[in-house]
Structure 1
């Protein structure tokens, strides 16, 4: 996905981010904390982003007047069920590989129903686009993909909903958590945002540093298609190889002071001891790379930057209590309680 294809979404995504901030202000308690499940909250924000990019429509996921029977809670539940079932099938002892037990049958039924819903949403979106065609320069991702192949457009929408919503919501919470625990970095970021400069290098550096320290994807798994000899290690064909970025990106020999949140490492020149380019190129490639890289990376970066910007512009974040734990499954999940304090700036 090219960055220029995302330009038409900048304004509607920013409108959603501002609505999300207003929602956060309205649901704070007397201590400026949000008692709702913060991950669910952020998933609803990301669902709105995803609806705009993948389908060209809003779901109004955090509308207090949401009608009963709306698609929104169904879509959010589908995402949650997808990860819960994946955890049971892939990370817990299970016999489904030998015979289709109840867990496997439940998963297949769920995926079938979820796929039907996604197809229905995509078909509706495509019909709307045909009725109201846009000029070439205003066409978004969905239109351009569908013109090439509708099956590809559906696969893209599936990935955005099933994989993108949960992971991006967790990634956003990680960035805010590290900023809340590093008030000097938070202040520096806010100063950059308030300057209204179009370039925001420190914002991007904060996001990269959070991905290094608390990656959503702990690694990338690949199947070798030929034999390899890497530094004397013989790797046969058809071997599963795990690139464990979570471990590599926290090694002292790759990133000095690895447990410190230092966004500046992504901005200093190559003569500085913290320069990120001194690390191995594969030490922190959490989106993958090459032909198998994450197709939604540009969209995820854009969504992250827009929402984080609006949150930091409006709130001075603090963290109260114990460090936020992480549960490792198909991806890394930030665990409740989410003890953020959202003070007005």
Structure 2
């Protein structure tokens, strides 16, 4: 039996370095996954850490004490959680109970142990297992594996898959989405889409320098147009002056489905017992999204089939490469990219514009950098420009520190651990309290201050992120289960942000922005940025 550390290394290397270009490669992954599963099965993961017996028992972890019968669920309706979003609840738990907190007895929802100690979070990730697990969104899992099994079959997507199935799927998609050369290939197209986005912004600006109440809708149109092109190599017309009714309904359904998943998977819900109103609305949104995207995918598939000679092997799109491997993989990944890449990217973009609007110093520094790299306002953005735009990248990172998409990262323990002196059995859901730590002055000096310099390599003072445990700031997750689309998301953000800041001065003349958490964290008020055109 090979050592565990070597097996762990082999599996991670398989995910990171696989280069797939034929059906035989997929078959090789099947063989390798079976071998790894056999090796994993030989390990006894019920062994306890050496300091287990000296540690406090699991049931003594601090946290809200459940009531008989109703447990802790009443707190969401009548207690201290009522009216609070998950970010506020997470901060409340830390302030009330300390660095480790258990929230249990939630009727149908497994215990959640919140971690607010950087060393505990590091230990969670260092021991996340050979094939990391996190609790899936059960609404999506049921929809894809039961209601729409006809489409997704045995490939419900990376967020829903676990173990050997997850390993095989991730190993297939990783070399396609995570290679830097894949990202570089799309710079020109993303620049064109960002120009169309800027044209729509200018149209609004000519009517009123302050952006309208529904400006977030335009941001969503840009993200949908961008991610659709990345996913299926197709422009669908979101940024035209009069988008089709189908596009408008699709956007509304995408926003709606995130709201429903929050109600079904995060808040207490009885949808697993009977078909609730929230569940029916979720299915309605998901059916429209799935059927619409399936139509787009089928059109893209037919185009590739009818024109196989158009693209050489060095110019194939993401969708082409997925189709070469497996049509089911292509369908699942296209739908995952187009649903998961809209609201998340939009919220990060909206938050970054807000922080720049309310912090004129960093905005000026960013514009100075962009003027050097883009002498004219209409200078096309290239891969070389993005490579040199260090402050641009730092501005986005600082936004994800102050307003991370996720309240924290979750992992299910693959073996018993001792965290903050408490026994944590195998099979427990751990959730890092990332957002609470991001706003903690002990982790980041003047943590409420927007300061992109934290993330510049040239910064060596007490503000530098180098002074913080790297496991505190993980905006795209950690390890082999980190976000597979992070390179593409950053590409979209960097290009569009550079276009706007190079062309407009941003200001904020409204009350301070409110942030909220549904399924993801982000801006909650209308995005009433005030713009003024840059002359040169």
TM-score band w.r.t. shorter chain: over 0.9
Where does 1:1-345 land on structure 2 (aligned, <5 Å)?
1=177, 2-28=179-205, 31-67=208-244, 69=245, 71-133=246-308, 134-196=311-373, 198=385, 199-269=388-458, 271-345=460-534
Question: The residue matched to 1:138 in structure 2 has which SS?
Answer: coil
1:337 and 1:101, CA in 2 relative to 1: closer, same or farther beyond 3 A? closer
Partner SS for 1:185: helix
Report deviation, 1:269. 4.5
Asked whether the equivalents of residues 265 and 274 of structure 1 are also in contact (C-alpha less than 8 Å), the reply is yes
Q: Measured at CA, do residues 153 and 289 of structure 1 come closer, stay the same or move farther in structure 2, by a change above 3 Å? A: farther
Normalised by the size of structure 2, how large is the TM-score?
0.61
- With over 3 angstroms needed to count, the CA separation of the structure-2 counterparts of 1:124 and 1:309, relative to structure 1, is same
User: TM-score, normalised on structure 1?
Assistant: 0.94
Gaps of 5+ in 2: 1-176, 374-383
- Secondary structure at the counterpart of residue 229 of structure 1: strand
Partners in 2 of 1:112 and 1:30 — Cα distance? 37
- Let me know the Cα RMSD of the aligned residues: 1.8
Closer, same or farther in 2 for the Cα pair 1:229/1:92, shift >3 Å? closer
Count of paired positions = 343
Deviation for aligned residue 1:205: 0.4
How far apart, in 2, do the equivalents of 1:274 and 1:304 lie? 24
Runs of at least 4 residues off by over 3 Å: 268-271
**Per the alignment, do residues 338 and 109 of structure 1 end up closer, same or farther by CA in structure 2, a change over 3 Å counting?**
closer
With 113-122 and 189-198 compared, the bigger mean Cα shift is at 113-122
Assess, with a 3 A threshold, how the Cα gap between structure 1 residues 65 and 149 changes in structure 2: closer, same or farther: same
Question: 1-side partners of 2:514 and 2:226: how far apart?
Answer: 26
TM-superposed CA distance for 1:329, in Å, is: 1.2
Contact 2:216 2:526 in 1 (8 A): no
Give the C-alpha shift of residue 185 in structure 1. 0.8
Structure 1: unaligned runs, 5 residues or longer:
none
CA contact (8 A) 2:215 2:528 kept: no
The offset of 1:31, in angstroms, is 4.6
